[in-house]
Amino acid sequence: MSFILTDISNHIAILTINRPEALNAMNNMVVADLVSAVKSCIDDENVGVIILTGAGDKAFVAGADIKQMQSNGPKEALTFGQMGQHMTLLIENSPKPVIAAVNGFALGGGCEISMACHIRVASETATFGQPEVLLGILPGWGGTQRLPRLVSLGIANELITTGRMVSASEAKLIGLVNHVVPPNELIDKCKEIAAQILKNGPNAIAKSLACIREGFGTSIKEGLKIEVDLFSKLFGTEEANEGLSAFVEKRKPKFRGNA
């Protein structure tokens, strides 16, 4: 049985990390199941957007499994760290937008998974943090790299060295999340964003994400090269022909994957 529940409807896949008794903490098996579920959604032509959330009303993911890590030496920690980084890269590199529906604690590896998603929507009850230093370790699934990129260097320095948790409203203030909504509106808000995305060309979406991802952190010159390359390659594709013609013909475009 998988630790991930998958529900696909209207081209939206909702993946629920399902280990509520441990606040959805991620051990080797949960990581492997999430990788496999995300890969299936990426390969599934019927899926256009992925929403990732946690089971129960308390946690998105309370981090990597501390009980499993307790007996780890450097060798096991390297393997576990690489597994988690592979998982977060898979999410970040997904050609289909991944929306984190953060329904509670997003701590350590949980915060790192949410940061690998393209968009974060938080419930008012969500709490974010990188508390690894409290355990005498450091964020190993991308926290030291993605947090400063999403917020700012100074804020990331403070949050990582203090391990201080931040509320959903503070997370919004520092740019860590896109939206904060009441708990019972969380999935609907994510579905609303997904529905807007699904109206657009899937190839254009995938290439836009690639431009943002590949260009970010490079010089503006390098980033513009990546952009114009992918911009030009879309022209002449069936999808671009449909989108451009639909505008000229004053009708709605029909893209594959439309909701």
140 binds ligand CAA (CB under 6 A): yes
- Shortest Cβ distance from residue 156 to ligand CAA (Å)? 14
| 112 belongs to the catalytic site | yes
54 binds ligand CAA (CB under 6 A): no
Q: Which of 63, 97, 253, 257 binds ligand CAA (CB under 6 A)?
A: 63
Q: Which of 60, 128, 141, 255 binds ligand CAA (CB under 6 A)?
A: 141
Q: Which of 14, 25, 116, 198 binds ligand CAA (CB under 6 A)?
A: 25
* Closer of 4 and 87 to ligand CAA (Cβ): 87
Q: Which stretch binds ligand CAA (CB under 6 A): 62-70, 154-162, 177-185, 231-239?
A: 62-70
211 binds ligand CAA (CB under 6 A): no
Q: Which of 8, 42, 47, 66 binds ligand CAA (CB under 6 A)?
A: 66
Question: Using CA atoms in the order 77, 83, 85, 90, what is the torsion angle rounded to 10 degrees?
Answer: 180
Count CB-CB contacts under 10 A for residue 167.
15
239 binds ligand CAA (CB under 6 A): no
Q: The tokens of 14 are what?
A: 């909702």
Q: Considering only residues 97-126, where is the footprint of ligand CAA by CB under 6 A?
A: 105, 107-109, 112
Strand 179-181, strand 166-167: pairing? unpaired
* Cβ 130 vs Cβ 139: under 8 Å: yes
3 binds ligand CAA (CB under 6 A): no
- Render the chain in DSSP notation, one character per residue: --SEEEEEETTEEEEEE--GGGTT-B-HHHHHHHHHHHHHHHH-TT--EEEEEESSSSEEE--B-HHHHTT--HHHHHHHHHHHHHHHHHHHT-SS-EEEEE-SEEETHHHHHHHHSSEEEEETT-EEE-GGGGGT----SSHHHHHHHHS-HHHHHHHHHH---EEHHHHHHTTS-SEEE-GGGHHHHHHHHHHHHHTS-HHHHHHHHHHHHHHTTS-HHHHHHHHHHHHHHHTTSHHHHHHHHHHHTTS----TT--
Q: Which of 4, 13, 15, 23 binds ligand CAA (CB under 6 A)?
A: 23
62 binds ligand CAA (CB under 6 A): yes
Q: Which of 21, 92, 132, 242 is catalytic?
A: 132
Q: Which of 21, 76, 112, 249 is catalytic?
A: 112
* Closer of 165 and 226 to ligand CAA (Cβ): 165
* Closer of 23 and 186 to ligand CAA (Cβ): 23
Give me the residues that bind ligand CAA (CB under 6 A), please.
22-23, 25, 62-67, 84, 105, 107-109, 112, 131-132, 135, 139-141, 143
Give me the active site residues, please.
Answer: 112, 132
